[in-house]
Amino acid sequence: MTSLNYYNTFIEVADDCPATRGETPQPRSNKPTKAVLEYELIAKHPYTYTGEDVAFQTYALQQALTKDRWPAERAKFLAQDQACMRTSALGKRYGWGVHCDEHGKVALVALGSADYQRFANDASLKHIKAMRSKRA
């Protein structure tokens, strides 16, 4: 399995992202969407979780897994190919860049902010785009 983590990387918003600034994702039908769960995990705890942590915890919360099952379920989850942060609706729809530090820990960076510009212009980082929502 390929790692879901990025190091010293800035994931910029997708070229077809409709947002012009970072927008907070909203629940649908009073249930948190995957984007809501990802946003809450990363926004409340910047540089605490890796991409793999976010992917698994989002899955665990959606599946209502009890914490005692997390270690075994995480191993099974990561044994299969999973989507990385580039596929997140945060960068595709809601205007959030993702900075990954040297340890693979992630933080959200709002499109249109001074921090976004700083990371976007930082030549010491690898730059990749979030995946487009539509084919080119």
pLDDT by residue for the chain (136 residues), tens digit each?
Answer: 578 899 999 999 999 999 999 999 999 998 999 999 999 999 999 999 999 999 999 999 999 999 999 999 999 999 988 888 999 999 999 999 999 999 999 999 999 999 999 999 999 999 999 999 876 5
pTM of the model: 0.92
pLDDT at 134: 77
Query: For residue 118, how many other CB atoms are within 10 A of its CB?
Result: 12
Predicted local distance difference test score (pLDDT) of residue 133: 86
pLDDT of residue 93: 97
Domain segments of the chain: what residues?
Answer: 9-129
Q: State the CB neighbour count (10 A cutoff) for residue 12.
A: 19
The pLDDT score that the predictor gives to residue 1 is 57
